[in-house]
Structure 1
Amino acid sequence: MTTFPADDPDKAPFAGVLPAAPRPFVLGNGEGEKSLVFDQLFNILLSADETDDQYGAFTMVGPKGDRIPAHKHFKTHEIFYVVDGEISVWMDDQADYHSKTTLTTGDFAYIPANVVHAFQIHNTTKVFGVGTAGFERFFHAMGQKTDATEPQGIYVPDYPTMRAAGEKYWTQFMPEFQFRD
């Protein structure tokens, strides 16, 4: 992955929230770099800047909703750990692994790069995620900056915004992909 410059439009609006260097720090409950994407609040807790380009960490909180579109990340490995709630995760490696699993509080999923995946929240759910360094700010590229500590409202990015975020963060949206349910 590539660490993006300080003036990158996906991180410049958040300057000073995280230390932007690998040094110790603490965030209080609800602190971090926050963006609303659709009806989900993404909060970046740790970025490539703080981990010497190793990984990024974030939380996602969202209400019950529709399944997000299928997509895959070409360079990003992701984990989902359900802190509270219930979420279904679809994964398909386009070879021999096809699954739909409903995760509840305490459950964990790993999605390697190039695996098509999607998720659907079944009730208000909080997920802790970790991904390959640099990817964490994909949520800023797709979303709208917010100071909210809970998801409020809906922000639907237009298709050019989604496409640009996908290109920048090595993600392909695959809305026509059919999972084996």
Structure 2
Amino acid sequence: MTIFTTDDPEKVAFAGILPASPKPFILRDGEGEKSLVFDQLFEIILSADETEDQYGAWTMKAPKGDRIPAHKHLRTHEFFYVVDGELSVWMDDEADYHSMTTLTTGDFGYVPAGTVHAFRTEATTKVFGAGTAGFERFFHAMGQKTDATEPEGIYVPPFEVMRAAGEKYATVFLPEFEFRD
């Protein structure tokens, strides 16, 4: 079951970029669906539509920046692989796992659903990520559509946009959460 409908505004703005069905396709560098969230450029390269609701995939490019707000995804398992650069990641399962780790090129991280997490780019960084089908559109719901191939400028989503994206994609923002470093 797809998380969003065909006329979902997070999808319509990008209609025609991805095939929207499980058939072979190629994307050249920079040809995916792109949104700017804070100073990070997210590019969806595979969605639930192409994988019969199995998973979605994206890339994230960002300059050195500030830590994003702590949050957790209630239904989404997420992984990321640092293609190039350096990324500090905070994770806390609110039980017995608490970590802050700096990942560099070639390193991998996994965030199970329900785990509080945040990250900060320590240098210009490119990350490949994937997660539970449908979640990939979260970045569009939070961000500003762009045709840029590199992160340009800053887009800070209004609180009501963040709240609506969180509700739609089962994400809880925890700005007061204190990670144990």
Q: Please indicate the TM-score interval, normalised by the length of the shorter structure.
A: over 0.9
Q: Equivalences for 1:1-181 in 2 at 5 Å?
A: 2-181=2-181
Does structure 2 retain, via aligned residues, the 8 Å contact 1:82–1:128?
A: yes
- How many residues are aligned here? 181
Q: Calculate the aligned-residue CA RMSD, in Å.
A: 0.7
User: What residue identity is the alignment partner of 1:2?
Assistant: T
Distance 1:112 1:60 in 2: 19
Secondary structure of the equivalent of 2:123? Answer: strand
Residue identity over aligned pairs, in percent, reads 77
What TM-score does the superposition give when structure 2 sets the normalisation length? 0.99
Distance 1:4 1:114 in 2: 21
Secondary structure of the equivalent of 1:15? Answer: coil
Deviations 1:39-98 (A, max 9, x none): 000000000000000000000000101110100000000001000000000000000000
Distance 1:166 1:3 in 2: 13
Distance 1:174 1:72 in 2: 8
Q: How far apart are 1:36 and its partner, in Å?
A: 0.3
Distance 1:115 1:67 in 2: 17
Return 5+ residue gaps in structure 1 as ranges.
none
Distance 2:179 2:8 in 1: 35
Secondary structure of the equivalent of 2:85? Answer: strand
Q: How far apart are 1:3 and its partner, in Å?
A: 3.4
Q: How far apart are 1:159 and its partner, in Å?
A: 0.2
Distance 1:62 1:6 in 2: 30
Distance 2:117 2:164 in 1: 19
More displaced, 52-61 or 1-10? 1-10
What TM-score does the superposition give when structure 1 sets the normalisation length? 0.99
Does structure 2 retain, via aligned residues, the 8 Å contact 1:58–1:128?
A: yes
Does structure 2 retain, via aligned residues, the 8 Å contact 1:22–1:51?
A: yes
Distance 2:177 2:4 in 1: 31
Return 5+ residue gaps in structure 2 as ranges.
none
Deviations 1:87-131 (A, max 9, x none): 000000000000001000000000000000000000000000001
- Runs of 4+ aligned structure 1 residues displaced above 2 Å come to none
